[in-house]
Structure 1
């Protein structure tokens, strides 16, 4: 549905930032408008139980999008439940290993797809299902149980990194599936059209802010993990993007202005020493090109609050329940936020 936006020019961004509130509201309205169109499409398929498979790479905004999608459907009278694939991780002892013997948390093989199949089969056949909630502190299934009801005409929003992988959808009737790929697709360019911030850079800035806010993780640590995260995305997530019925670009053209102040502080602290000095310096130089505007104008319902805190949909408690921002591990064995 959503066409990739053209390169967003820094001079245009800075000009529009002179009326900061109007600029932000325009960006927010575009995202909300696209989300409403997706809700409309789903409602047009009403009558049967539907499974919305929502995937995307790290810091794409898929968690907030999935919860806003649920809220939008329920506001239109459609009973909706949210299912996070994070709850279907295998216990650490059963997690597949990399060749060097470390756990491979990036692979879909780290998910208990047999359990997911069992749950969805029960929902289709009996309208009810239950499953244990994954405890990320213990790295295994805990004592808490999630109970779901999915009567005729209702919708299940299944969100996770691997939601578009055919292995996940194999247990579902094809006519009941709606696939949504959520990511940042746009880039920011200078006056000559040269890229200042790639789509991947935009997600990295988002993730640095979120890692610090919710996991007390430094920019240096996030930069250390980022290459492995992107490699996992290229292997296990992006190849299935063509399967999506709809692609949603979650970029806010105003976000470099909103994030610049905090991002500069984080990246400047990361370039003091270490192997990622050049990358941090490059990002600092890019972020300095944008006019800063206040984050105070961002309402709690906005997707950008997922990375800054103060979200209507996400807070430390809900992130902890959903895995503390995924609570996975990178191929280096360190904790990452999805």
Structure 2
């Protein structure tokens, strides 16, 4: 009997699916393999599992996340002051250090010795450079993130708010237009560094708040000193990502080289 494709609580995705993702990366010849998944989809878990499996096979592999390239709190506070208050929240387009991200991926592609940035979400700041792990001679890099490869929307699509956050806190559209301009102008150079992209597609955006709530509870259990968000805070938080997430759902199935549907329980829909 073939192994179940179902992810197991606390253990991530089943070995059969992890092996298939690694085989896809190796068969494609990718040096930078992207895994895109909306919040709570399991992309970070899958990236870690694929990396562990590759290393067990003697393949030197590095893992980086789009989250590792967040701007520090002070930099985002300046954006919040000068552009729009919602830019204080990390994650949406315009809140990443793209020069550092591109330089890191370029060094990894070249097999050079490189320190991998790491972001401390509790301190809301990048770890000191001396605490970054170093790798050299990576044959494969797994790069995961919630919006990898997602293109900007047409300006006309920005006129109407998609949720209460936009309706009540971005009434004039300054924030969403700033994020969309960044996505159009700045992020394609990062996306071009991805050789092959896997999109973990959820049933729809409506499952994301529940997934993010599950993730919040797991994070709090693993990091007791971390201040947990309430359910209401999680609901508000995911609204920062809704517009670009919906754009990803519309566009990535025709952009990503491989799209795998996930059930509400994060079961990959792949043929045996």
Could you say which TM-score interval applies, normalised by the shorter chain? 0.5 to 0.7
Query: Take 1:238 and 1:208, find their aligned partners in 2: how far apart are those partners?
Result: 24
Q: 1:126 to 1:210 in 2, by over 3 A?
A: closer
Cα RMSD after superposing both structures = 3.5
Alpha-carbon distance between aligned partners in 1 of 2:143 and 2:69, rounded to the nearest angstrom:
11
Counterpart in 2 of 1:123? 108
Does 2:202 align with 1:218?
no
Match of 2:35 in 1: 54
Once the two structures are superposed, the pairs formed by residues 83-98 of structure 1 within 5 Å of their partners are: 83-95=64-76, 96-97=79-80
TM-score, normalising length from structure 2? 0.64
CA deviations 1:115-146 (Å, max 9, x no partner) are 11222222334521125432333333332432
Question: What is residue 123 of structure 2 aligned with on the other side?
Answer: 138
Paired residues in the alignment total 216
Cross-structure match for 2:23: 40
- Find the aligned partners of 2:127 and 2:64 in 1 and give their Cα distance: 17
- 1:16-55 CA-to-partner distances (Å, cap 9, x unmatched) read xxxxxx9x95644996544432222222234xx6101111
What does residue 189 of structure 2 align with?
A: 170
In the aligned structure 2, how far is the partner of 1:210 from the partner of 1:70?
21
1:207 aligns with 2:212: yes
Equivalent of residue 246 in structure 1, options 258, 262, 270 = 258
Q: Distance in 2 between matches of 1:121 and 1:28?
A: 33
Distance across 1 between alignment mates of 2:214 and 2:33: 28
Gaps (5+ residues) in structure 2? 152-185, 221-227, 268-272
Question: Shift of the alpha carbon at 1:249?
Answer: 2.3
SS in structure 2 at match of 1:108: coil
**1:45-84 pair list within 5 angstroms:** 45-46=28-29, 50-84=31-65
Question: Which residue matches 1:101?
Answer: 85
CA distance in 1, matches of 2:136, 2:258: 23
Q: What are the superposed Cα offsets for residues 88-121 of structure 1, whole Å, 9 maximum, x if unpaired?
A: 1112232344954332534322111101122222
Residues 121, 92 of structure 1: CA spacing in aligned structure 2 closer, same or farther, 3 A cutoff?
same
Cα displacement (A) at 1:62: 0.8
Q: Is the 8 A contact 1:82 1:156 kept in 2?
A: yes
Shift of 1:214: 2.4
Structure 1 248/148 Cα, relative in aligned 2: closer, same or farther at 3 Å? farther
Q: Is the 8 A contact 1:121 1:171 kept in 2?
A: no
